[in-house]
Amino acid sequence: MTAYQPPGESGAGTGPARGPAPAAYDAVVLAGGAARRLGGADKPGVRVGGRALLDRVLAACAGARGTVVVAAPRPTARPVTWAHEDPPGGGPLAALDAGLRHTTAEHVVVLSADLPFLEARTVDRLLSTLRASAADGVLLTDPEGRDQPLVAAYDASRLREGLALLTDRHDGLAGLPLRRLIAELNLTRISDPVASFDCDTWDDIATARARIREHGHVLDEWISTVKDELGIDLEVDIRGLLDLARDAAHGVDRPAAPLTTFLVGYAAAQAGGGPEAVAEAARKAAALAARWAEESTETTQTSGAEPQPDVAPDATPDTRPDAG
């Protein structure tokens, strides 16, 4: 979907948070840069598993009250607020300062736009660790123990203080590396080798594309991609739906599986949508498939038996003396 809002407008919500959060947070995604190691390609738009890298990151911070992307506007799967660093190409600190100006929450999640395996649970972990500590921020480290300041949650006021200090000290933020800001903050670090994986080269892109097609990953990746493509923000019991499809295929007929799951979705939509509506429609369809399978089994078991009278199964024989 096209989700452009001119800089300065408040960001639209990016979907409901996953469960009750202790406090709201905002997200700033840095999606600029020259991507020299990718030959100048549009890195945020490179697709992994059918989704642009930027959209994958936006899905991970869907619980944010507002999301700011510092980059040139483009179509995105979720609505965001766009911002630009001053001067253009001024580097990560200038971009962070530009994005932070559009946020108001006490805590802000700061992310780069090249994290193919970042998930909402990692964002939640960063925030919960920050809220439980007295630190200025919590960031991830990669498998080699290196800091990843663009996969982190920060106290927004401390970020602003640090940026103001560096602005005064260096007469601006253009060209300054992120480590200058990190050195001014009291930080806690947590490890997440998968979520901290970023795509700097085409080899990294190839690795990411191969991993999501591995057994154990491909189904979740496909479902997430389809939901983004269709604009669906709904958590459902995937295993339950797969069980329903299996029962329909085995108990009725193989083509019954996709058609049954389609009808479940249609019925859930008519009932107002939501996980509860899907679960109820799936329950009814599963019970019907079970009854169908039972009848099929009973028919098979009695196919060689003596013919039975054509009466209802709950009929009571007439035992009166004059019964004909």
pLDDT, tens digit (0-9, with 9 covering 90-100), for 56-74: 999 999 999 999 999 999 9
Q: Is residue 139 packed enough to be buried (19+ CB in 10 Å), middle (13-18) or exposed (0-12)?
A: buried
Average per-residue pLDDT for the chain? 80
> Going along 79-186, which residue ranges are E strands?
81-83, 107-112, 137-141, 147-155
Q: Given a cut of 80, is residue 235 above it in pLDDT?
A: no
pTM beyond 0.85: no
DSSP 19: S
Which of 218, 174, 183, 294 has its CA nearest to residue 48? 218
25-205 under CATH 3.90.550.10, yes or no:
yes
DSSP 317: P
161-170, 219-228, 305-314, range with the lowest pLDDT: 305-314
Looking at residue 304, what is its pLDDT? 53
Distance CA 243, CA 233 (A): 22
Q: Given a cut of 90, is residue 185 above it in pLDDT?
A: yes
| Pairwise pLDDT comparison (305 vs 128), residue with the higher score | 128
